[in-house]
Structure 1
């Protein structure tokens, strides 16, 4: 399902008045668990109803109103999860195999795909996923959410992706709604995507409200050099004053210190990042 094929209810939406909004991002490794060879003993195939139920419970435990996923799954599986969570869902395709999803408590009014499959798309640009959704928070407030999964290996490709996203953000900014940019950036702060967002007055949620940046890949088997800080949430300047908390979810089930042994696995090789805003 492309971003333009978001799932929306046909009935009139009744808004829940809530001044706290939780937004999260999570690379879910195709719902295989990590390491897959251990997780598969319990989960089985990532496309089964049992696996959908497991991860619906995992995602519910994050208590997010908006949850962006990277390295997602097929249409039928994310629909099962969205239904179990009572969430709307939009999917941004990948030209290769790493689709992205946005699960939302709020109505999805519009969605846009930036990672269209095309010849040589594995190399340029958006080899993973990139897209945006417009959410209706209430009668008076709309929000753009941009989900990204940048290239893991080549800096020059991430730089090109950052240039493309900069143009898309300029387009969205012209509509005068707040913007959240989040996902698996596959790079530490300092690369082009971060400097571009900072130049547009976006705020890194963890740096501002989470006590500083923390590794988002440092579970057992992934601690080389102290881990990697590559999953991020940025908010536009009109939201930065509403940030109250941010955290990398490090509790049991999401990460382990090891040692690795038979039967030991976690939900993904990445950790979720969640930010809370007193908005709208």
Structure 2
């Protein structure tokens, strides 16, 4: 069970202040540790996970990939509660580990084995602080700089979250949340990053995408199941389409930024022809319509 309080930070100045914070109520904060995440949210084309109030996230940090499924949530004030299941995938075996994991079976049970596709991605610069009281680790406070979208639709916003650890209680969380509101003037954030991303997705311009919807659908299976050189190529194009830089796309795909630029340029000229045609299933064709047999001529009267 994930139990956390979420708040909106008004500007970059507030981000700096909270990254330097050493004390909150009777709790001390450890020095911040900065990490960078690339998060993508997945569902079926007809949103079957969303229909049962579940969210599936793929998080990449360097060569580490973590899949997280979040169940239906409850929100009261700043406090969010929801069930959570997670699996970390081995570098070089991410696709195999994912399909062999109990979490994959759980997701497939929810989707009826329908294929997954990426809805949208975001990038996070996240600073972690441990909150302690009387030598007990109570919670983790994170200060987030979140970048969503791309081009004219790009949006950057800031958040602060406090997530309870095993040593913390809901009373601790309520105390911390109250202090953030009364002393620091923060406003609760009722929406998850997934909800905010969906809202932005609804306003995104298709013209800013690298891939068309059919091209994206064609590349998604390659990014999981194709031979390594084609899988890396597909991963790079999918990452670029999601707004990643050439460096970020290269890290995700295992290619140099120069190679990513090369394949982006080749794709713009030749589209899916940069892949062997044998990698794509032949389009289904309808069987030829049967020609009705002529009815026998009526017998002539004798």
TM-score, length of structure 1 as denominator length: 0.25
Higher helix share: 2
Point out which structure has higher relative CO (alpha carbons under 8 A, 6+ apart).
1
Q: Which has the higher strand share?
A: 2
Larger Rg: 2
